[in-house]
Structure 1
Amino acid sequence: MYHPYFRGKQYELITIRENAARLAKANFLPIIEPVRESLGGLEKALRAVCESGGKAIVIVNPHYGDHASGGISISELLSASFREHPGVSAGILLKNTMSVKDVMDCFSLHKAHSPAFIHAGFTDGKDLAAALGNKITRTMNIFIDDESSKLYRRHFKESTRVLIKDGFERRRNRDHPDVEFFSDLHITYADDYGMDGFGDFLTVGDDYSESGGPAYAIAIHLTYINAAADNAMYIYHFKSKRVDTPADPAGKFAEALEKLVAAVKAPGSSIYRTEAVLEFLELNRRGHFPGLGYVKKLSMQHHIETMAKFLP
């Protein structure tokens, strides 16, 4: 099963809401780390997930954003509005500042929402596994790759295990290559890592920032399955020609979009013609710039659609 990891900014939540039926049909299980104080967008996204018969994991103790000092309001939302929806689970982010007691207290507090553990720097795996005892077989353990070793993960081998890897290399837009390797975890997660599922941070990446600076270059990021490389996933970075000033974002988007259209229409193109790509083509036809947040949403949607089309 595929687990896309979203930080709960506006367009991430809109992506989940608008793709709720697609996520449910593909049996994808998104992980959401709320980062904004207002939870209205999160509630709308979760209601769409539930109405589509899907599932989601909501982190109740976020590491980033407005809830980093405590996620009481998130827990209250789950309890008040989603107690009767078994598809919505509480995610407990295991950080290096937590003790086993902290983890187990949070686990007990959210037991009505089938808690899942997201291992992100916690080190006392052996004692946590012992504290869980027989309950470990009924838990889901999600490991952030660069914050959990293979040895650490072995303590949870009797549970459902998921590995999350960040395939997106964070750089200034102007510094991205035209195309590069993204991930092969969708092929290797079971055989090479012994996992039951996998995930990534879509085309946004794990690095968190409250807001971006001025965009000197506009880039559109599109993933694709490379059949010539054993079906590994690669990513295009379609960049604007102009990169020296933050002026004219609409014109720079048109420059990047022109490159995307050429790649999509090239003979033998590996880019799936997803609904998101068709919308990019329509934006090019109309000469319309919808804003950078909307562009990011289409990029994430294309990634989800690509995963859904490739995975059985």
Structure 2
Amino acid sequence: MYHPYFRGKQFELIAIRETAELLAASEFVPIIEPVRETLSGLNRTLKAISDADGKAVVVVNPYHGDHAEDGENISSMLKESFLGNECITAGILLRDDMSLAAAVACYEKHKDHKPTFVHAGFTEPKALAEALGSGLGEIQHVFFEKHCGKLYRKHFKGSRRILLRDGFQRRRNADHPLIEEFSDLHVTFEEEDMDGFGDFLIVGDDYTEGGGPAYAVAIHLTFIDSGKDDVMYIYHFVSTTKDTPTDVAGKFGQALGKLIAKLDSGESKLLESGAIKELRDLHAKGHFPGLGHVKKLSMKHHIETLADFFT
């Protein structure tokens, strides 16, 4: 049903490992586009998912990161460690620079890993559907919404179809509003004639190799508002100090203080998730664990919130 899309940085992989059992129990299927040259963290993550009897899709031809020019190491890892393991399947990323012949060749190469096509700008949907022929219905298709309108998706009707929507509005941390709408796709995906939905969590689709100076620190947390047709919203708790790149720990403390005040008001509508409990502990201890760790907690909270909604 739910397919969160990760770009496979260190803390994203840790978030998956730490929620592997919850993902499996909720039948959530992460899609991972590996961006780091070393694959040891990815391998550990996939084993954690497999051990929990969960499922994951691994993109074998990433567009971003260290494997953008050659994904052969990813293919080799899948073959060596997960061939015959139905928990872990291959994902084929279809961008605007990929030809029909290349798409079909990649599918044939990874056929033993039950490939999922991830549509992200591909320009020949009708020809691909025709090339897949009678096997079309056995293949899962994931669509980046901004690249795939209804007419595009129509060519793959009859197969399992997942719609990915980016609910995160990218801007400078200092410019975030306190609250804004994130997505309603978790309640409307069936109206879109889809079998499931996905998003890019609290990170967004835009890929950056590393963050710049933290002039402002923001903690991004999602919640579902039962009083507004179960639409998902996102809070951006932003530090008060926004004009200097120094004292990141102090700015985290400011943002965290705003979050705790909102939680303690009893009006936040945030799920008291395991991630929220850890944020409360960090506040009580006055500890700053690093921005990567904070992002991990926000991702875990997002997964926990959706798992609670579908329980």
Same fold (TM over 0.5): yes
Provide the C-alpha distance between the structure 2 equivalents of 1:269 and 1:211, rounded to a whole number of angstroms: 31
Provide the C-alpha distance between the structure 1 equivalents of 2:185 and 2:281, rounded to a whole number of angstroms: 32
Instruction: Give the Å deviation of 1:149.
Output: 1.5
In the TM superposition, 1:193-212 aligns within 5 A as 193-212=192-211
Instruction: Give the Å deviation of 1:292.
Output: 0.2
Which residue of structure 1 lines up, in the alignment, with residue 128 of structure 2?
Answer: 128
Letter in 2 for 1:275: G
8 Å CA contact 1:4, 1:200 repeated in 2: yes
Which residue of structure 1 lines up, in the alignment, with residue 116 of structure 2?
Answer: 116
Which residue of structure 1 lines up, in the alignment, with residue 222 of structure 2?
Answer: 223
Per-residue CA deviations over 1:23-42 (Å, capped at 9, x if unaligned) read 00110000000001110110
Provide the C-alpha distance between the structure 1 equivalents of 2:267 and 2:94, rounded to a whole number of angstroms: 45
Instruction: Give the Å deviation of 1:88.
Output: 0.3
Uncovered stretches (5+) of structure 2, i.e. residues with no partner: none
Instruction: Give the Å deviation of 1:268.
Output: 3.7
2:25 corresponds to 1:25: yes
Which residue of structure 1 lines up, in the alignment, with residue 308 of structure 2?
Answer: 309
Provide the C-alpha distance between the structure 1 equivalents of 2:85 and 2:294, rounded to a whole number of angstroms: 32
Which residue of structure 1 lines up, in the alignment, with residue 66 of structure 2?
Answer: 66
* Backbone CA RMSD of aligned residues: 0.7
Which residue of structure 2 lines up, in the alignment, with residue 155 of structure 1?
Answer: 155
Uncovered stretches (5+) of structure 1, i.e. residues with no partner: none
Instruction: Give the Å deviation of 1:96.
Output: 1.0
Which residue of structure 2 lines up, in the alignment, with residue 294 of structure 1?
Answer: 293
Provide the C-alpha distance between the structure 1 equivalents of 2:98 and 2:296, rounded to a whole number of angstroms: 34
Which residue of structure 2 lines up, in the alignment, with residue 239 of structure 1?
Answer: 238
Provide the C-alpha distance between the structure 2 equivalents of 1:6 and 1:46, rounded to a whole number of angstroms: 13
Instruction: Give the Å deviation of 1:190.
Output: 0.5
Instruction: Give the Å deviation of 1:84.
Output: 2.9
Runs of 4+ in 1 over 6 A off after TM superposition: none
Instruction: Give the Å deviation of 1:46.
Output: 0.3
Which residue of structure 2 lines up, in the alignment, with residue 275 of structure 1?
Answer: 274
Per-residue CA deviations over 1:248-291 (Å, capped at 9, x if unaligned) read 11111110001111111212431000000000000000000000
Provide the C-alpha distance between the structure 1 equivalents of 2:267 and 2:97, rounded to a whole number of angstroms: 50
Instruction: Give the Å deviation of 1:229.
Output: 1.5
8 Å CA contact 2:84, 2:113 repeated in 1: no
Provide the C-alpha distance between the structure 2 equivalents of 1:61 and 1:22, rounded to a whole number of angstroms: 28
Q: TM-score, normalised by structure 2?
A: 0.99
Per-residue CA deviations over 1:165-212 (Å, capped at 9, x if unaligned) read 000001110000000000000011111x10000000000000001111
Which residue of structure 1 lines up, in the alignment, with residue 170 of structure 2?
Answer: 170
Q: Give SS of 1:3's match.
A: strand
8 Å CA contact 1:166, 1:206 repeated in 2: yes
Provide the C-alpha distance between the structure 1 equivalents of 2:168 and 2:231, rounded to a whole number of angstroms: 14
Q: Give SS of 2:141's match.
A: strand
8 Å CA contact 1:89, 1:115 repeated in 2: yes
Provide the C-alpha distance between the structure 2 equivalents of 1:260 and 1:157, rounded to a whole number of angstroms: 44
Letter in 2 for 1:26: S
Provide the C-alpha distance between the structure 1 equivalents of 2:226 and 2:307, rounded to a whole number of angstroms: 16
Letter in 2 for 1:269: S
Which residue of structure 2 lines up, in the alignment, with residue 15 of structure 1?
Answer: 15
Per-residue CA deviations over 1:72-96 (Å, capped at 9, x if unaligned) read 0000000001113111000000111
Paired residues, what number? 311
Which residue of structure 2 lines up, in the alignment, with residue 255 of structure 1?
Answer: 254
Provide the C-alpha distance between the structure 2 equivalents of 1:6 and 1:98, rounded to a whole number of angstroms: 21
Letter in 1 for 2:58: V
Letter in 2 for 1:34: P
In the TM superposition, 1:97-116 aligns within 5 A as 97-116=97-116
Provide the C-alpha distance between the structure 2 equivalents of 1:84 and 1:142, rounded to a whole number of angstroms: 22
Provide the C-alpha distance between the structure 1 equivalents of 2:148 and 2:131, rounded to a whole number of angstroms: 19
Per-residue CA deviations over 1:84-143 (Å, capped at 9, x if unaligned) read 311100000011111211111101100111000000000111110011011011000000
Letter in 2 for 1:236: Y
8 Å CA contact 2:24, 2:55 repeated in 1: yes
